[in-house]
């Protein structure tokens, strides 16, 4: 099977209703979507991604109005966050309603819910009588896809259709927030920052796991890695090997040939950098370097935290030290 790529929302709806797994665009990264109530389709998502069964999926819903159908005992601050940031790159982990299968949550009593901010996917969700269980549409452990082409290159043989919504506008996965004794806890950094969350709901904890997390084992270090080893260094470190790539935030490495480098944002804009990050890593990964170097963003605050988080997870060192 070779996936067809297109913009036919009706076709996407038909295939999903028929139990197929297809790729859908979101503002963060592309998702590998299935009818959340169809256990065979959900099992196929795990199979196609080669994702371990203990790593739960995010359920994508059409709008805030649907939250009570799928989650219960919702803390008021969760509702406030949903009102402030949905549709958008925020995932809320909440106690699940019985209607959500344990196959989707990997046996957990909680479900991760998100309303994606992408017009095609919102229109698809609004015409479907079921929500979409969808992890990022990459093989487990690799970098998430931010274009239809990225999906096609890796999963084109495994799915019938890729709904092409253009390049992802945010470029990194959603911020994940759960609640422990009604206190918000950030489990994964994203473009929505801890500061933004605190502004809405006050006291917020951060528990971003840098190693295996029994609550959500998917948030492993090696979750976002290219095949070529990525090392974190800085612009002052001498690099003599000519066969290396460099992923630069805004300033290229002075010793590495410009054609071996990708600059994420010449103006140093973190949003532009996030948008370009995964395509840049993929490009460098395909250039047959003996390794890739990068440096962390110096000002590790706001949105830069999420970019540095992804760089650390993608790097070889953190992978071996997990």
Q: Residue 242 and residue 143: Cα distance in Å, rounded?
A: 25
Residue 26: contacted member of ligand TXA, Mg ion, none (CB under 5 to 8 Å, by partner type)? ligand TXA
Asked whether position 216 contacts ligand TXA by CB under 6 A, the answer is: yes
By rule CB under 5 A, what string of x and - marks binding of each residue 111-150 to Mg ion? -------------------------x--------------
* Size, binding site for Mg ion by CB under 5 A: 1
Beta strands at 90-95 and 175-180: parallel, antiparallel or unpaired: parallel
Residue 174: contacted member of ligand TXA, Mg ion, none (CB under 5 to 8 Å, by partner type)? ligand TXA
Asked whether position 134 contacts ligand TXA by CB under 6 A, the answer is: yes
Q: CB-hemisphere CA count at 13 Å for 177?
A: 31
Q: CB-hemisphere CA count at 13 Å for 236?
A: 0
- Three-state SS for 76? helix
Q: Min. distance of Cβ 294 from ligand TXA in angstroms?
A: 21
Q: Tokens 């990964």 label which residue?
A: 285
Cα radius of gyration rounded to whole Å, the chain: 19
Asked whether position 175 contacts Mg ion by CB under 5 A, the answer is: no
Cα-based torsion angle of the residue sequence 259, 310, 265, 162 in order, rounded to the nearest 10 degrees: 80
Asked whether position 56 contacts ligand TXA by CB under 6 A, the answer is: yes
- One-character DSSP codes across 110-178: EEEEE----HHHHHHHHH-SS-EE--BSS-TTSPPP-SHHHHHHHHTTT-SEEE---S-SS-SPPEEEE
Residue 56: contacted member of ligand TXA, Mg ion, none (CB under 5 to 8 Å, by partner type)? ligand TXA
Asked whether position 92 contacts ligand TXA by CB under 6 A, the answer is: no
Asked whether position 165 contacts ligand TXA by CB under 6 A, the answer is: no
Q: Min. distance of Cβ 68 from ligand TXA in angstroms?
A: 17
* Binding-site ranges for ligand TXA (CB under 6 A): 26, 28-29, 31, 55-58, 89, 91, 93, 105, 108, 110-112, 114, 116, 134-136, 173-174, 176, 187, 215-216, 218-219
* Binding-site ranges for Mg ion (CB under 5 A): 136
């Amino acid at each position: 099977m070779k996936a067809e790529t297109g913009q036919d929302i009706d076709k996407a709806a038909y295939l999903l209703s028929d139990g197929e797994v297809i790729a859908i665009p979101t503002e963060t990264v592309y998702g590998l979507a299935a009818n959340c109530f169809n256990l065979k389709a959900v099992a196929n998502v795990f199979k196609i991604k080669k994702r371990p069964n203990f790593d739960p999926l995010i359920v994508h819903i059409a709008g805030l109005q649907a939250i009570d159908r799928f989650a219960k005992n919702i803390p008021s601050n969760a509702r406030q966050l949903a009102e402030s940031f949905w549709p958008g790159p925020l995932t809320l982990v909440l106690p699940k309603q019985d209607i959500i299968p344990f196959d989707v949550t990997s046996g957990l009593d909680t479900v991760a819910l998100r309303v994606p901010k992408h017009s095609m996917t919102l229109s698809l969700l609004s015409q479907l009588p079921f929500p979409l269980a969808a992890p990022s549409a990459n093989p487990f452990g690799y970098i998430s896809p931010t274009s239809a082409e990225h999906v096609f290159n890796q999963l084109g043989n495994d799915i019938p259709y890729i709904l092409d919504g253009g390049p992802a506008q945010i470029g990194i996965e959603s911020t994940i927030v759960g609640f422990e004794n009604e206190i918000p806890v950030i489990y994964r950094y994203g473009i929505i920052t801890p500061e933004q969350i605190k502004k809405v709901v006050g006291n917020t904890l951060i528990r971003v796991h840098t190693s295996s997390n029994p609550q959500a084992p998917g948030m492993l270090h090696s979750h976002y890695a290219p095949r070529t080893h990525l090392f974190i260094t800085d612009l002052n470190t001498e690099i003599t090997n000519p066969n290396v790539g460099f992923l630069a935030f805004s300033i290229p490495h002075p010793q590495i040939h410009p054609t071996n480098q990708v600059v994420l944002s010449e103006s140093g804009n973190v949003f532009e950098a996030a948008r370009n990050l995964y395509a840049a890593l993929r490009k460098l990964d395909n250039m047959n370097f003996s390794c890739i170097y990068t440096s962390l963003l110096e000002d590790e605050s706001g949105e830069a935290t999420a970019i540095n988080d992804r760089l650390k997870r993608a790097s070889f060192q953190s992978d071996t030290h997990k």
